[in-house]
Structure 1
Amino acid sequence: MLNRVVLVGRLTRDPELRFTPSGVAVANFTLAVNRTFTNQQGEREADFINCIVWRKQAENVANYLKKGSLAGVDGRVQTRSYDNNEGKRVFVTEIVAENVQFLEPKNSQRVNQGVGASNETYGGAPADGYGHSNQGGTPNANGTRSAGYANDPFSQEGSIDISDDDLPF
């Protein structure tokens, strides 16, 4: 049997950290995950997925993530039920995160909040649309950088001359 979930999305609110009576940390948060297609109006919809994380990772999530943070979650789907105060059975489906990745730098600030925005700034450096800073490496005498995305030969306009013999497929 296989029960594995991998999600990448933004937190819809700050994580809620609590502790069990025995002192085990548990954090709850909701992840907004964009769908891969658009609706009839051309807008991209999102799913809002409840996640739960335990122990040290719960404390890290509560300390370092906040509303709007980009996060990756690797875990499993869990369903449970309970009786609420009115005696009615409530069913809950959530993701139990086994690993949470922080996908933005700690000091990131999103300048443009639009969907599909490519004009974003992360920690003062322009980003390449994937959260990578374009300020890699050290400046050369001519003002360019010696390493990093700024010198990526594949990011330039035009085509690259590669023969079919050089391709691995």
Structure 2
Amino acid sequence: MYNKIILAGNLTRDVEVRYTQGGSAIGNTAIATSRKFKSQTGEQKEEVLFVDLTFFGRTAEIANQYLRKGSKVLVDGRLKLDQWTAQDGTKRSKHSVTVENLQMLGSKDDAQGGGYNNAPAGDNYSQPAPSYNAPTSAPQAAPQQAQASNIPEIDINEDEIPF
């Protein structure tokens, strides 16, 4: 089976990092993506989608250091279904993305304006996320770098940003 998702958009909040007892970093945030389309009546409409993101290891620390609310990013990873029971006893669920690769988008002007704290735009950061279904193995950086270079560059129009 194949589970891969690629999203480009803006972060909806700052990255929150916490550490496991073993010292591994886990970062959480969300991304907003949008698309414009014409309805059957010819009316211009916009659809906005909000998706939670989870980063692991060094990628979580880099995201926390350089990214802020509104930062433009391109992420790829695995789609995950989170399920829980709410306090009122109802069953709840949502989809989220476990990020495997992160690419910061935007210009250096954006970075110096405080969005990235002077991080170079366009840098790729990838960290294999822990797989709970497979045994852990040593990370292989070369294939991930090859995957990151195959991701097409997406031009995001400022008018399409939902905030």
Q: TM-score range by the shorter chain?
A: 0.5 to 0.7
Letter in 2 for 1:101: Q
Equivalent residue for 1:16?
16
Deviations 1:11-44 (A, max 9, x none): 1111111112222111111111112425675242
SS at match of 2:110: coil
In structure 2, stretches of 5+ residues that fail to align are 114-120, 122-153, 157-163
Moved more, 65-74 or 90-99: 90-99
- Identify which of 40, 52, 60 aligns with 2:62: 60
- Structure (1 or 2) with the larger CA radius of gyration: 1
- Identify which of 44, 47, 50 aligns with 1:48: 50
Say how many residue pairs are matched.
Answer: 115
Indicate how the Cα distance of structure 1 residues 69 and 38 shifts in structure 2: closer, same or farther if over 3 A, else same: farther
Give distance in 1, aligned partners of 2:87 and 2:21: 21
Equivalent residue for 2:83?
81
Indicate how the Cα distance of structure 1 residues 60 and 106 shifts in structure 2: closer, same or farther if over 3 A, else same: farther
Contact 1:38 1:45 in 2 (8 A): no
Q: CA RMSD in A?
A: 2.9
TM-score scaled by structure 1?
A: 0.58
Letter in 1 for 2:9: G
SS at match of 1:108: helix
Give distance in 2, aligned partners of 1:33 and 1:65: 16
TM-score scaled by structure 2?
A: 0.60
Letter in 2 for 1:95: V
Shift of 1:77: 0.3
Contact 1:9 1:70 in 2 (8 A): yes
Give distance in 1, aligned partners of 2:60 and 2:109: 20
Letter in 1 for 2:16: E
Shift of 1:107: 4.8
Equivalent residue for 2:33?
33
Indicate how the Cα distance of structure 1 residues 36 and 76 shifts in structure 2: closer, same or farther if over 3 A, else same: farther
Letter in 1 for 2:76: D
Name the % identity. Answer: 32
